[in-house]
Structure 1
Amino acid sequence: MRHGNDTPALLRSATTATGDKVDVTLADGIVQAVVPAGTAAIPTDSAAVLDLDGHLLLTSMAEPHAHLDKAGSWDRIHPPMGDLRAAIVSWRAYADTMTEADVVDRARAQVLRNVRHGTTAIRTHVDLLRGPDPLLGIRALVAVRDELSDIVDIEIITLSPDDIPTDTIEAALDAGADGVGAAAHLAPEPLEELERIVGIAERRGCVLDMHTDESLHEVVTLDALAGLTRGWTTNVSAGHCVRLGTVPAHQRDALIATAKESRIGIIANPITNLYLQGWGDDVATPRGIAPARALLDAGARFAAGADNVRDPFNPLGRSDALETAMLLVVGAHLTAHEAYAAVSSGARDVMGLPAADVTPGAHADLVAIRADHLTQAVAEAPADRIVLRRGRVVARTSSTTDFPSLTAPAPLEVAR
């Protein structure tokens, strides 16, 4: 059912991340003005007013690293718990049997969960498959992208093993993929595979997003990626970068400086890498996460994503970027504000999207969360949310709580 204020002209009495109470006027999907609460002119059409009293108004979340073709497959595969390579083996066995309809159904459900929680843009990696139909996943995600284009931006990046021919990768771009990527560090000849994928992106002028150094102890390819893409104007990202968090500090800082010089966006994936990495380290298990503090302190482009959700690479996940933000606080020692930026404005920057914010001139991709301040929102992940994309409400969630055994009904006091 559509509501009368699905395209509001005024967001009234919202609280910003800095604690200010404001009225926000919108038009044509853009924030027009931000003024103290109670001072904006009220539209004659009351349906054009969205009352956000009690809500925190923030830049909507963006997911810079997803695998929508894999999402929700854990219960179908029942894979062994283990490391990255074991997950790859179990996924490939399932991929040999799955249908295009299966991928569409799981991906659509995952996207809707993301949007419900406040995500209005998703970059998804999609496997190019071995066998007679390597573009099955690409076709499925193009269909989902088209179907849900009114509520979310979806960007498709190819993910290809080293034995997938270059012609197949090019065909995936022709079929609707937006960019290319691979996990070159897993190839028998990592630098040769990296050069091949970089060459395709350069030739096609498309987005390049590499899975990079997803290991605690093995080869580092970030330096080579930075060297190969120095001076590029197209968007380049490096996901995972787990090894960057375990090399000596002087080497880490030099690699970060090199990546920053080439304007490579670094995308941490805390939930999946904390799950996958360190199984062989029984004592003082290292944290499987990119060095977020060092990256932010150096001024590098930094974002964070959920990566895998309930598939062989990660059995858990709530499809909520606030979960990713919480893990950045716990696992990477960021503040709540830094962590939220990584899953919102930072993610949009790394994805090459226009800025969205509670600021005049910014895109009105916003999320209103029932909370008093940002730390509470990250800590509690309140269910009550209103999601706007380009100034239009695309999702609403509300919740109620009863305590029927209490003799006198009392409101639930939420810790502030």
Structure 2
Amino acid sequence: MNGRTVDLTVIDGVIESVTDHDPIDQSGTDLQDWLLLPPLTEPHAHLDKALTAEEVRNPTGDLDGAVQAWAAAAAEGRFTPDNVIERSTRAIELLLANGVTAVRTHINISPDVGASNVYALHRVRESFAGLIDIQIVALPRGPMTGPDSSANRAAFAEALDAGVDVVGGCPHLEDGATDAVAFAFDRALEFGLPVDLHTDETLDPSVLTVLDMVEQVHELGFDKMVSASHCVSLGVQPLEAQHDIAARIAAAGIAVLPHPQTNLYLQGRDHQAATPRGLTAIRPLVEAGVVVAAGADNVQDPYNLVGRSDPLETAALLVMAGHVTPEDAYTMVSNNGRKVMGLAPVEFRPGDPADFVAINAPSIRAAIADAPKSRRVYRAGRLVASSDQQTTINWRAST
């Protein structure tokens, strides 16, 4: 840990002490000089869509193609609550094995499914109690404003009554984006919930609904956590505008969540030359003091055909495509995600939660580069997942 070999004492799920290693004391669990890190976090998932890439094909490869493909498959009734439970369970098992102890998932809400997927995720959450924190975001189908919104609003109300943890939405996809942002904040105030909106997932620089979110925070005196996911259009603003908007986001206390896996896949397909990366303005946001937490978003579905359910994959893309240092990238997929979810960060201080992951790697850079499967995952000081990677090279085959 930070180049030190330490002894970590845990009592009642909390870190009691961190001291230099005593080689004489043979009690406890020996992690064999593995790298000890804060637990990984997945602050933006879509578990109801996970692991459907073989079943639901995206004909265009872009966001609109994914939305249309999913809507068509859902209209055929392919995704029953039992199916959602089965795939969500598999996806969470993958996350947990890779060191994730907290996940926030957006769940589609529409008139045809009502709150059924929310209830399905309740069952999944119960089955993983004590292993991983699961937060549910109600993600309504638009429009949420105007004359054609009544059925969608009714379904959204049903989901909120069923019990979710966060109010979601995609206001930038609506004609009345400003009104849609206001509607989301009104519901969040009504239910006392934080807000996490899909925000400006487009390369169109004229779309900046994140500023509507800033306005709502100030107008309402909104004191719950607010997260703006994606913020792709911010990344194509002139640099001066990026810094100005980042400062306004910071002043409002809004966190920003880039999702390099999915947005590198979906964005920029109509730019055949100098294809943009589809990432937000990470550096200006960090310099302004904004909490930046990164997620995978989608995993092996029509929105993202690949993905290993491993935040180290997201961290690697932050390093390569976002020009973030390995250490900062790890923070974005660990403690910053916990901050977004309202969970205490793990900094290995007395009193911190005893949630951590041990990885067979010499450094954070090496862990991100190699993504070794040899890991030990601890929740409240208890081993909840372990995996080992072995490689055998048959040298005799060379002779």
**Which residue identity is paired with 1:261?**
A
The match for 1:263 among 243, 253, 267 is 253
Q: Displacement, 1:258?
A: 1.1
Instruction: Judge conservation of contact 1:357–1:364 (CA < 8 Å) in 2.
Output: no
Q: Distance in 2 between matches of 1:105 and 1:407?
A: 42
Match of 1:358 in 2: 348
Please state if 1:382 is matched with 2:372.
yes
Among candidates 188, 204, 208, match of residue 220 of structure 1: 208
What is the aligned partner in structure 2 of residue 76 from structure 1? 55
Deviations 1:346-392 (A, max 9, x none): 11111111122322221111000001111000000000000011111
**Displacement after TM superposition at 1:55 (Å):** 0.5
Which residue of structure 1 aligns with residue 179 of structure 2? 192
Provide the residue aligned with 1:116 in structure 2: 97
The CA distance in 2 between the partners of 1:30 and 1:81, in whole Å, is: 49
Whether 2:130 is the aligned partner of 1:150: answer: yes
**Separation of aligned partners in 1, 2:35 and 2:96:** 17
Which one of the candidate residues 20, 45, 48 is aligned to 1:36?
Answer: 20
SS in 1 for 2:6: strand
* Alignment check: 8 A CA contact 1:266 1:302 kept: yes
Query: Contact (CA 8 Å) 1:23, 1:39: kept in 2 or not?
Result: no
Cα distance, 1:404 vs structure 2: 2.6
Match of 2:146 in 1: none
Deviation at 1:306, TM superposition (A): 0.4
Cα distance between partner residues in 2 of 1:241 and 1:87: 18
Return the alpha-carbon distance in structure 1 between the equivalents of residues 12 and 24 of structure 2: 18
- The answer to whether the aligner puts 1:392 opposite 2:382 as a matched pair is yes
The alpha carbon displacement at 1:136 in A equals 2.1
CA distance in 2: counterparts of 1:119 and 1:240, whole angstroms: 21
| Residue identity matched to 1:27 | I
Indicate conservation of the 8 Å contact 1:357/1:366, yes or no: no
Shift of 1:165: 3.2
Distance, in Å, in 1 between the alignment partners of 2:24 and 2:234 is 48
Q: In structure 1, how many angstroms separate the alpha carbons of the residues matched to 2:397 and 2:56? A: 47
User: Does the 8 A contact of 1:232 with 1:262 survive in 2?
Assistant: no
Give the CA deviation at 1:405.
3.5
The 1:39/1:25 distance shift into structure 2, 3 A limit, reads farther
Aligned residue among 313, 321, 332 for 2:311: 321
Query: Following superposition of structure 1 onto structure 2, how do residues 10-409 of structure 1 map, counting pairs within 5 Å?
Result: 16=1, 18-38=2-22, 43=27, 49-96=28-75, 97=77, 98-131=79-112, 133-161=113-141, 162=143, 163=149, 164-217=151-204, 218-230=206-218, 231-406=221-396
Structure 2: which amino acid aligns with 1:158? A
- 1:188 positional shift: 1.8
Contact 2:111 2:154 in 1 (8 A): no
Asked whether the equivalents of residues 43 and 294 of structure 2 are also in contact (C-alpha less than 8 Å), the reply is yes
CA distance in structure 2 between the partners assigned to 1:388 and 1:41 by the alignment: 21
State the alpha-carbon separation in 2 of the partners of residues 236 and 42 from structure 1.
Answer: 46
Q: Could you say what secondary structure the match of 1:20 adopts?
A: coil
| Contact residue 191 and residue 221 of structure 1 kept, 8 A | yes
- Could you tell me how far 1:192 is from its partner in structure 2? 1.3
What one-letter code is carried by the residue in structure 2 that aligns with 1:126? I
Detail structure 1 runs of 4+ shifted over 2 Å in the superposition: 39-43, 163-168, 404-408
1:290 positional shift: 1.3
Instruction: From the superposition, tell whether residues 249 and 147 of structure 1 become closer, same or farther in structure 2 (CA, over 3 Å).
Output: same
Instruction: Report which stretch shifted further, 105-114 or 197-206.
Output: 197-206
CA contact (8 A) 2:63 2:303 kept: yes
CA separation of 1:40 and 1:214: change in aligned 2, threshold 3 A? farther
CA contact (8 A) 1:114 1:320 kept: yes
Shift of 1:41: 5.3
Corresponding residue SS for 1:354: coil
Q: Separation in 1 of the partners of 2:9 and 2:224?
A: 33
Query: Relative to 1, partners in 2 of residues 1:40 and 1:335: Cα closer, same or farther, differing over 3 Å?
Result: farther
**Separation in structure 1 between the aligned mates of residue 94 and residue 214 of structure 2, nearest angstrom:** 34
Secondary structure of the equivalent of 2:29? strand
What SS class does the counterpart of residue 213 from structure 2 fall into? helix
Give the Å deviation of 1:407: 7.7
In structure 1, distance between residues paired with 2:248 and 2:213: 10
Q: Which amino acid aligns with 1:168?
A: A
Q: Which runs of 5+ in 2 are unaligned?
A: 144-148
Q: Tell me if structure 1 keeps the 8 A contact 2:110–2:152.
A: no
Quote the sequence identity (%). Answer: 38
> Quick check: 1:120–1:389 contact (8 Å CA) kept in 2?
yes
Residue type at the aligned position of 1:318: R
Hey, what's the Cα distance between the residues in 2 that align with 1:173 and 1:389? 29
Quick one: which amino acid aligns to residue 174 of structure 1?
D
Q: Which residue type is aligned with residue 109 of structure 1?
A: R
TM-score norm. by structure 1 comes to 0.90
Kindly provide the amino acid, as one letter, of the partner of residue 92 in structure 2: V
Give the conservation status (yes or no) of the 8 Å contact 2:34–2:362.
Answer: yes
Q: What is the TM-score of this pair, normalised by structure 2?
A: 0.94
**RMSD, aligned CA:** 1.5
